[in-house]
Amino acid sequence: MDKNGLNFYNSNPDINDYRNTGVGFLVNDQSMITATDFKEVDGRIATIKIHSKATKQTINLIGCYAPTESSNDEVSKEKFYLKLNDTIKKLKLNKLPILTLGDYNCRLSQDLHTYYPNIIGKAIKLETETSENGMKLINLCKTLNLRVMNSFTTKPEHRTHTWVHPKTQMGHVIDLVITENNSKLLVCDIHNSRSMEANTDHYMITTILKLKYLNNNKTSNDKSKPKRKQSKAIHALTPDYPKILNTLLQNKCQLNQVERAITQAANKAAIPYKSATKRWQYNISNLLKDEIKHRRQLRLKWLNNPTAANKSLYMQASKIVNNKIKLAKDQYIKDKMNEMNTYFKKHDLHLAYKMVDDILATIRNHSYKAKRAHQIKDSDLQYHY
């Protein structure tokens, strides 16, 4: 059924029990999702695939409506959970995330967290006792490694109830959101939407999901690619490179020229900038350990007692330490370039490549380049390089 851009997929209710059966999905075709492969298992269970156009990912949705606690038909209860078990097992074969939504007509107690911590959380207040339908659901979750996400999202009690008993006027959590334990689906929030009207005695449930990004372009041989790139980068450092580097140093070239020369000789994709950046940070932190500690103490003193005098002392100490860090970093780069040049002369390309890694990562530090661009003159650059 299509109306105002909304498609309604529903399973035909059981003719003999049309008041207590029927499951459906209402999908907005004008949004960034599309629905495919709607299947009706029976009057109480249906499945559908939801595809996101933005992330190009697909998830399986299962809608279900369990028999009520007051029902005396034990055969229909067992039949429902057996069919739900088979449905989830079949969907697991396509290796797509599974989200099971529906009215389970069960009561789950808070004590279940003690015995089944991976299935029931302690984020919300649950019942005092577990019903018969509740134990059937727990057994299903235990068999298929599932978890009830309603109990893992912290919310005020009035935002967790999904149904209010007409006689006792007490709220209960019987509409549940269930996922796999190691699912790629991250359930960010679950709460009831009391203002949403749907001609039912249940509150509508809002579930906010986040799907972990999957790189579909990866292949099984991707793990070996960085090693091949690294090997190509090492072979790219020819024996003529020391002469090029010596020429650059003798002409007192600027940092960007030195960087360009190094980049042309080694593949940028093979250089782990993050680990190399930490090396110069640790080196300078050890050299200026006392000065940095003194600056931190002055900052804490200023924060605890925000006076003009304390602020002035901290600003002066910070300025001195920053200048020392700049000079120490300049010296660090110069030492590494000399060390790299030595390895090239010895034709030790492996260690020379490590020096290239360290130098490029240090030069590419954005905050360092920005500070030098505004505070260091070209003459200073030529003096150091």
pLDDT digits (tens, 9 = 90+) for 110-155: 888 888 888 998 887 788 888 888 999 999 999 999 999 988 888 8
186-221 b/e with 16+ CB inside 10 Å = b? Answer: ebeebbbeeeeeeeeeebebebebebeeeeeeeeee
Which residue ranges does the chain devote to CATH 3.60.10.10?
2-211
Output the pLDDT for position 372.
44
Output the pLDDT for position 379.
39
Output the pLDDT for position 87.
92
Q: How far apart are CA 23 and CA 224, in angstroms?
A: 48
Output the pLDDT for position 244.
61
Output the pLDDT for position 86.
92
Q: How far apart are CA 95 and CA 93, in angstroms?
A: 5
Output the pLDDT for position 261.
61
Residue 133 to residues 164, 166, 171, 178, 200, Cα–Cα distance (Å) = 18, 20, 18, 15, 22
Nearest alpha carbon to residue 335 among 284, 378, 270: 284
Q: What is the DSSP letter of 109?
A: B
Nearest alpha carbon to residue 209 among 187, 242, 184, 226: 187
What class is the 2-211 domain? alpha beta
Task: Using 70 as the pLDDT threshold, list the residues of the chain that sit under it.
Answer: 1-4, 13-19, 212-282, 347-350, 353, 357-358, 361-385
Q: How far apart are CA 285 and CA 290, in angstroms?
A: 9
Tens of pLDDT along 207-261?
888 876 555 555 545 444 444 444 444 444 555 556 666 666 666 556 566 666 6
Output the pLDDT for position 252.
57
Residue 21, C-beta contacts closer than 8 angstroms, at least 6 positions apart: 13, 14, 42, 43, 44, 65
Cβ atoms of 62 and 88 closer than 8 Å = yes
Output the pLDDT for position 260.
63
Output the pLDDT for position 250.
64
Backbone angles phi, psi at 258, to 5 degrees: -65, -40
